Chain A
Amino acid sequence: MPKRARKKVLIVDDEQDLVRPLALRLAADGRYEVAVAFDGEAGMARALQFRPDVALIDLSMPRVDGWQLCRRLREDPRTRETVTIIMTAWLSPDLGKKAVSEGVSRLLLKPFEEADLLAALEAADRLVPGL
């Protein structure tokens, strides 16, 4: 039996039209408890309340972008253990390297398959907290 019945997932993307169906799918799955935010600033505030296990973060957002949000989550002791997954439509050459240096656990290239999203969330569980 897992410690918690449902994994807490925070979705942060300024593309609200994408957030809605993603949230709907994860909520319907039954294994996840979902919260959403539509920019990096709100994402951080929501994370402090919600304390997510996983944050699904879009890269290009106004004001506080995905990288900055990842850094803030990592630097705050209250959210340090949140596993971060980056979603992006832009695959730049140094993206992988950057992701590793920012402590991001996975990258999802938009558009992604539902199966890939679920696999990424599943794998996020196995990350040792505090690593």
Chain B
Amino acid sequence: MEQRVRVLLIEDDPDYTMLMSVYVNEACGESVKYVLESVVSLQGGLDLLSRQEYDIVLLDLMLPDSRGLDTLVKVRAKAPSLPVVVLTNLDQEDMGLEAIAHGAQDFLPKSKLDAGRLRHAIGFALARDRLFHQMERLVEGSPDGMVIVDRSRMVRYANAAALRLFRRRWEEFVGRLFDFELTPGRPVEVKLAGHGDEELSAEMRAGELEWKGYPAWVVTIRDVSDLKKLEKVRAEVKERRHTDKLKDQLLSTVSHELRTPLSVVKAVVGTLRDHLAGPLTDEQTEMIATADRHISRLTRLLNNFLDLTRLESRRSRVRRQPLDPLALIEEVCQGVRLANRGRAIALQVELPIKLPSVRVDADMIAQVLGNLLDNSRRYARGRVVVRAEAGEDEVMVSVTDDGPGIPAERIGELFDKFVQLDRARGGEGYKGTGLGLAISREIMTLNEGRIWAENAPRAGACFRFTLPLTSKTVAPKEDEPHAQTRS
């Protein structure tokens, strides 16, 4: 692939222009071809530069319409990104060096010129230019803002990211006072306004450097808003965990402290109820019965809470054994039927003839089914249906009532602690504790099953849970002993 280099020569000496075209032709090789165009005045050069594209400019500083470094300044202003090699006379070495300081890539003494030197100079200038542009792209493309601030706190340079972060245009920023405190070495957090509703958090660092021969600061600015948000979320989560822990501790202490006075009240009321302290009138008997019911309710609440605390802290030992789910379901339903006798709610049990063996803790699953039946009975209008079916990996049990169903937006929170929906029909002086479903969820997790709620197709709520099949579970090495159980 042949490289084509377009050279613009701005030179008023026709002899020299002629000589140059010879050198340029000589310099052409197999891989590089130079194409030379020349003009005799600065104005002519500027005109060409605005019309056509070039790769490099060879510039004589002594032209009829411009003399000295001013010539270079004007060319650079016209084509800032174009490399310029300045042509100098023998006695103008200082001017050549000065030209480099003003942005020229190189200088060539006219008298020493030949094809080789020309090729070298052009090649060198282009390479230097590429390098320079690479550096510039690096700085301009950096996602971090970079600002050069001189010792008088004036902004001398800012990259694109800095302008974006400070929400300024170049001319509004560069040449103005930098209005942030500079603490070299230490990162400082600054707030930057103007980025939508929220202020932007940025980390600013300042380092020393020399800029165009003078001591200055290079300031980098990094947008750390996302990091800050993450930190904030982390702190919130930590705080919340701490609060939750305190809350749990408080609830645990309170519920334990309630047990002693409750045991006294229970014993005293029991004494009265059983006529151990003398006979009662009918009215007294009725009132004592009410007190007794509420003592049971309070006891149930405390026991449920204790269960949940133990389940959550994983202190409960789980004794999973292979068992027939049909027998378990039948037994629980039978217990409920007995307790339910004389009530208007019918319990309908629809089970298949055979179900595969499941590996679960029987007492725990009985508690879950009991909770769900208890729950459904309180919401049902006239009927609760229990069903079970075998799937590929599990047996699914469902409890469906014909009550008002669950508001869709609250299904998600149903299994949280102390959640009771006002769909309860309540009655019979019996109220739930708001912990039954939370306990059930913990139990199902420990038994590798799932539990969830949905609304039944026609009306009412449907609770489902799954029991893993014995054939799909790995038997534990040995059953862990039961922890002390509550009476």
Q: Contacting B487 at CB < 8 Å: which of A21, A89, A96, A116? A: A116
Would you call A18 and B276 a contact (CB within 8 A)? no
17-61 of chain A: CB within 8 A of chain B: 17-18, 21-22, 24-25, 28
CB neighbours (8 Å) of B297 from chain A are none
Would you call A111 and B299 a contact (CB within 8 A)? yes
CB neighbours (8 Å) of B299 from chain A are 111
89-116 of chain A: CB within 8 A of chain B: 89-91, 93, 95-96, 99, 107-114, 116
Q: How far is the CA of A40 from the CA of B167 in the complex (A)?
A: 78
Would you call B484 and A91 a contact (CB within 8 A)? yes
Interface flag for A125 (CB, 8 Å): no
CB neighbours (8 Å) of B259 from chain A are 89-90, 109-111
Interface flag for A75 (CB, 8 Å): no
1/0 per residue B337-357: CB within 8 Å of A?
Answer: 000000000000000000000
Would you call A89 and B483 a contact (CB within 8 A)? no
Would you call B271 and A24 a contact (CB within 8 A)? yes
Minimum distance in angstroms from B107 CB to a CB of chain A: 87
Known: A110-B259, A111-B259. A99 touches B484 (CB 8 A): yes
Interface flag for A15 (CB, 8 Å): yes
Q: Give the residue name and chain of the B residue nearest to A60 (CB).
A: B260
Q: How far is the CA of A114 from the CA of B276 in the complex (A)?
A: 13
CB neighbours (8 Å) of B256 from chain A are 89-91
Using C-beta atoms within 8 Å of the partner chain, give the interface range for chain A: 20 to 34
- Which of the listed residues B259, B260, B262, B306 has the most CB atoms from chain A within 10 Å of its own CB? B260
Known: A15-B260, A89-B260, A90-B256. A114 touches B484 (CB 8 A): no
Using C-beta atoms within 8 Å of the partner chain, give the interface range for chain B: 20 to 34
Interface flag for B270 (CB, 8 Å): yes
Known: A89-B259, A93-B315, A110-B260. A25 touches B267 (CB 8 A): yes
Known: A24-B271, A89-B260, A90-B256. A111 touches B266 (CB 8 A): yes
Q: Give the residue name and chain of the A residue nearest to B277 (CB).
A: A24
CB neighbours (8 Å) of A17 from chain B are 264, 268
Q: How far is the CA of A21 from the CA of B295 in the complex (A)?
A: 16
Interface flag for B284 (CB, 8 Å): no
Would you call B270 and A114 a contact (CB within 8 A)? yes
Would you call A25 and B276 a contact (CB within 8 A)? yes
Q: How far is the CA of A91 from the CA of B257 in the complex (A)?
A: 11
Would you call B484 and A112 a contact (CB within 8 A)? no
1/0 per residue B251-276: CB within 8 Å of A?
Answer: 00000110110111111101100101
Interface flag for B486 (CB, 8 Å): yes
Would you call A89 and B274 a contact (CB within 8 A)? no
- Which of the listed residues B265, B266, B295 has the most CB atoms from chain A within 10 Å of its own CB? B266
A-B contact pairs, 11 of them (CB 8 A): A18-B260, A18-B267, A21-B267, A28-B274, A89-B263, A90-B256, A91-B306, A93-B315, A109-B259, A111-B299, A116-B487
